[in-house]
Amino acid sequence: MINHYASSPGRSWSARHVSLAAGLVKRGHSVKLFASSFDDCLMTRRPDSPKPIEWESFAGVDIGWLPAPEYHDNSWGRGWNTLVFAFRVLQLPRHCHPFPDLVYASTPSLFQAMAGLILARRLRVPFVLEIRDIWPQSLIDVGMSRFHPFIWVSALIERYLYPRADAIIPLMPDAAPHLVAHGAAQDRIYWIPNGVNFDVVPPLTPPVKKDVLEVLYAGGFGGGNNPRVIVETAAILRQRGGPALRFRIIGSGPQEAEMIAKRDALKLDNISFEPPTSRIRIYPRLSQADILLAPYSKLGVHRFGVSLNKLFDYMAVARPIVFANHASNHPVRDAGCGVECPADDPTAIADAIQILAGMSVEERWQMGLRGRHYVEQNHDFAHLAVKLEAILAGAARGTSAAVTVQQLNS
């Protein structure tokens, strides 16, 4: 498995691949997962080592940290980091024995995915491509010019990769039409969404009655996330004179300075900012909240649907959710575990918070439990690993998956 941004649950938020890999290990497989030594989520790096690969074991998964340069911006530094990581992937045959039966590479970086395909061809094994974000379309949708050289190169790589993958696994439920239009074979596309590793989720704790309700957001400050709207929402609720609320915002990103400045200008003393933390450490904080916020921007790429770690982690602790959503799918509404409202609309988010704040503690607890049941049934990584095993087995045999696409997607 190759994912630039992969991590273990104890290190940062990005634990999809180690969780899936752990599920495969439990089913008798051997998995090596390769990721960057620099943690993009927490902006930290592992200690320098003279070794070409620094190995770590988690839940039976061998994690190889490939040296990659540190960066603190989203342009040149990140681009150089991405290219160095892709180069390290091409060197893996020197360090990996025995050779694998299959190579599984994840985006969003198309360079690491391309390196994964080249590696698979050199080893003469099947190649499985995972699509976590559709590049370059996502970059165009957030404002990057379609005539930018990076977009041109990415588009060429995209069209080269799709027809050559033995299987393609998008996280978004409605991505297949785009993939097919860019060269993918329909019968090689299998949807596996994000999920929750319940091995690291603490036992449920019922909420308690409070004089001041805690409204919490945890995640990035940028990209598809739109935590800026929380400050505007808090100002609207203060003007309305509604219930007593305390807003906690946990995370970091390019919007942080702007958000803090706006909070101070509006003199909102009920908003606090806290640094990001690992997935294991975030669950107790989520459990302290009464209402969890998931505000997202209105982006064209959401027409493919969303599969958000944040939502499933929120559901796992059984707290009601306000989801500001413009996607083609509606997980919070489907689960009945909160209120969905339009994206980029602080007034609508304020209305949704007031609806949940007006409920009794027991009503919010029952709503949260519906979310917990939903995520247990549909997004448990232990179950998703079984689906992945079937896809990989089919790709390794050079045939279709051991079960049909309809069964996998049901």
Confidence class for position 9, pLDDT limits 50, 70, 90: low
CATH superfamily ID and name for 16-195+380-409: Glycogen Phosphorylase B; (3.40.50.2000)
pLDDT of residue 73: 61
Which CATH code is given to the segment(s) 213-378? 3.40.50.2000
Give residue 142's pLDDT: 76
Q: What is the pLDDT of residues 57-96, one digit of tens each?
A: 888 999 988 988 887 666 677 778 888 899 999 988 876 6
CA–CA dist 151, 254 (Å, integer):
22
Structure tokens at 252: 């970091």
Look up residue 296 and give its DSSP letter.
B
Predicted confidence band at 12 (pLDDT cuts at 50, 70, 90)?
Answer: low
How many angstroms separate the CA atoms of 374 and 316, rounded?
9
Whether the per-residue pLDDT at 11 is higher than 70: the answer is no
The predicted pLDDT at position 337 comes to 97
| Predicted local confidence at residue 204, as pLDDT | 96
Q: In which region does residue 253 sit, left (phi positive, over 0), alpha (psi from -120 to 50) or beta (all else)?
A: left
| Fold matches, 16-195+380-409 and 213-378 | yes
Q: Does pLDDT of 44 surpass 60? A: no
Letter string b/e over residues 154-173, b meaning 16 or more CB atoms within 10 A of that residue's CB: bbebbeebbeebbbbbbbbb
Amino acid identity, position 208: V
- What is the predicted pLDDT for the residue at 394? 92
Better-predicted residue by pLDDT, 10 or 105: 105
Tokens of 336: 């009945």
- pLDDT exceeds cutoff 60 at 409: no
- Alpha helix locations (H) across 91-225? 110-123, 137-141, 149-161, 176-181
Residue 43 confidence (pLDDT) above 50: no
Percent of the chain past pLDDT 70, that is, above it, reads: 90
| pLDDT value at 47 more than 50 | no
DSSP states of 236-250: HHHHHT-S-EEEEEE
CA distance 272 to 60: 38
Supply the mean pLDDT for the chain.
88
Cα 372 from Cα 370, distance rounded (Å): 5
Plot region of 183 (φ>0 → left; ψ -120 to 50 → alpha; else → beta): left
Range with the poorest average pLDDT among 39-43, 155-159, 262-266, 340-344: 39-43
What mean pLDDT do residues 4-22 have?
77
CB neighbour list of residue 48: distance below 8 Å, 6 or more residues apart: none
3-state SS assignment for residue 399: coil
What's the confidence (pLDDT) of residue 49?
A: 53
| Closest C-alpha among 100, 82, 78 to residue 33 | 100
Position 97 scores a pLDDT of 73
Of residues 398 and 294, more confidence is placed in: 294
Statement: residue 4 has pLDDT above 60: yes
pLDDT tens for 280-318 read 889 999 999 999 999 988 888 889 998 888 899 999 999
Average pLDDT over residues 165-185: 95
User: What's the average model confidence in pLDDT over 116-139?
Assistant: 92
Give the pLDDT score at 68: 84
Kindly report, residue by residue over 189-237, the tens digit of the pLDDT. 999 999 999 988 999 999 999 999 999 999 888 767 888 899 999 999 9
Residues 331 and 335: their CA atoms lie apart, in Å, by 6
Residues 45, 51, 52, 57, CA torsion sign: negative
Beta strands in 316-393 (DSSP E): 321-325, 338-342
pLDDT digits (tens, 9 = 90+) for 319-377: 999 999 888 999 999 999 999 999 999 999 999 999 999 999 999 999 999 999 999 99
**The pLDDT of residue 410:** 46
Domain boundaries, the chain: 16-195+380-409, 213-378
Collapse the DSSP code of 235 into the 3-class scheme (helix H, G, I; strand E, B; otherwise coil) and give the result: helix
- Average pLDDT of the segment spanning 172-177: 94
- Band the pLDDT of 42: cuts 50, 70, 90: very low
What is the pLDDT confidence band of residue 176, given thresholds at 50, 70 and 90? very high
Q: Look up residue 32 and give its two tokens.
A: 């090596």
Give the angle 397-398-403 at the CA atoms, nearest 5°. Answer: 70
Q: How confident is the model at residue 400 (pLDDT cuts 50, 70, 90)?
A: low
Beta bridge mates, 112 = none
pLDDT of residue 45: 47
